[in-house]
Amino acid sequence: MRLILTALIIFIVGVILYTVLPMGTDTVNAEEGTPIVAVQIPTELSEIAMIGKRGFDTKCSSCHGENAVGKNGVAPPLIHKIYEPSHHGDESFQRAVAMGVRAHHWKFGNMPAIDGLTRADVKAITEYVRELQRYNNID
Ligand code: HEC
């Protein structure tokens, strides 16, 4: 009985660790620049998300990939469970753009601060990412 209980606890802890520690280990050995995740593209975007997409395509997609699917060896996908609103709220997007990001979730290195965007621009970009996330059941 005790053995079964121990095995069960180890299993549960394993599952929890597996879900809370998405460290991108699946990206080792992949060719540089290739997408990290596959996403479904919404057929429609809100007006603000469409504006955000333009900002994203000029300022973010060079690293985070088209449709925020990430680029192997460059930067993580933003359409990913760790960037869901409860874990990385909208303010973390503002902070990332204004001050850059020290590498902490992945092994891509730091994100530099991004020039030439107002808070309103970043809000639209964030809304675009959120709509992509929601469409892919990340919320
Ligand atoms: C030069 C490459 C590069 C560009 C350009 C870039 N990023 Fe990043 N970004 C990164 C990397 C690398 C990380 C991962 C850091 C880590 O390990 O957590 C990251 C992480 C982030 C995060 C997570 C922040 C956190 O608190 O963990 C957000 C949000 C983000 N980027 C948004 C953006 C947005 C929005 C843009 C465009 C305005 C952008 N990035 C442009 C490289 C880039």
Question: pLDDT, tens digit, for every residue of 37-68?
Answer: 999 999 999 999 999 999 999 999 999 999 99
Residue 75 CA: nearest ligand 1 atom is 12
Q: Which of 51, 63, 82 to mutate to test the pocket of ligand 1 (most atoms within 8 A of CB)?
A: 63
Protein residues whose CB sits closer than 6 Å to any atom of ligand 1: 59-60, 62-64, 75-76, 88, 92-93, 96-97, 101, 103-106, 108-109, 111-112, 114, 117, 125
Domain boundaries, the chain: 2-135
CATH number among 1.10.760.10, 3.40.50.300, 3.90.1150.10, 3.20.20.70, domain 2-135: 1.10.760.10
Cα dist. 104→13, 23, 76, 101 in Å?
Answer: 22, 10, 11, 8
- pLDDT number for residue 2: 75
Residue 103 CA: nearest ligand 1 atom is 17
State what percent of residues in the chain have pLDDT above 90.
78
Alpha-carbon distance of 126 to 55, in angstroms, equals: 10
- pLDDT number for residue 119: 98
Q: pTM, whole model, 2 decimals?
A: 0.84
